[in-house]
Amino acid sequence: MPERVKLFQVDAFTNHVFGGNPAAVCLLTHWLPSEVLQKIAAENFLPETAFFVPGKEGGHFDIKWFTPDIEMDLCGHATLAAAHVIFNHLNFSASTIFFNSNSGVLIVTRNGSLLTLDFPSRAPSRVDLPESIAQGFNVHPAEVWKARDYILVFEHAKIVKNMMPNRSVLDQINLDCGGIIITAKGSGVDFVSRFFTPQASIFEDPVTGSAHCSLIPLWADKIGKTKLVALQLSARQGKLFCEHRGERVLISGEAITYLEGHILI
């Protein structure tokens, strides 16, 4: 008999379906082999699939994230989606969830419709722009920073919105990081961004929570405030409510369930 795995698809960092960033969330009773998890994520073909297993303590869960191509060390929107499933579909009455992950313990709290991720801060450092990356963009950035990802800072939000990266060029580089963020000061929000992953099946991620682990400390320092509102300017768009807390960042957003079902393995 095939094993039945409960599956949800959730749109994260949005309050309506077809917006934000879609994630699959799989509820497991025990860990399946990593190669099986990777095949499930590839079959789902969403930016991320989150898998979680209940921990030994109440309110604690073990979590892993996979893109269609690789296992990730950290993912914001799929963690938000997993918390949304636990809060809304598993009759979980407490206001706080603890996820054990490869990036340490991640805490998610619920306050009304908002879910808040407590993630590690990954403050970037100023660097030079590699020529291989520069050739993939038709506008030269004002500044370049790097933490897990390269961060290209531009003068205006319209540049970020209208940017058309040359994927054929970027897919040729050997990227020594997770991805490429482009960002600028916002209009109506504190800052805007977009996120690209060369050589990945899904080139532009709709809303990237983990990228804000670096964007929040960067823009908090630039703007001179600890609480910020961010907008990721993908076609689906997503709004994030952010707070810089030194070695940690808080990333808040809404989520909504799109699909509920089972997969058979």
User: What residues act catalytically?
Assistant: 48
Q: How far is CA 181 from CA 140, 209, 229, in A?
A: 14, 12, 17
Secondary structure letter of residue 62 according to DSSP: E
- Alpha-carbon distance of 97 to 82, in angstroms, equals 10
For 56, the token pair is 């030994």
Secondary structure letter of residue 129 according to DSSP: P
Residue count (the chain): 265
- Alpha-carbon distance of 127 to 129, in angstroms, equals 7
Number of neighbours of residue 100 by Cβ within 10 angstroms: 16
- Alpha-carbon distance of 223 to 129, in angstroms, equals 23
Q: Between β-strands 248-253 and 114-120, what pairing exists: parallel, antiparallel or unpaired?
A: antiparallel
Question: If we measure between CA atoms, which residue out of 145, 152, 153, 101 comes closest to residue 123?
Answer: 145
Residue 194 CB burial class (10 angstroms; 0-12, 13-18, ≥19): buried
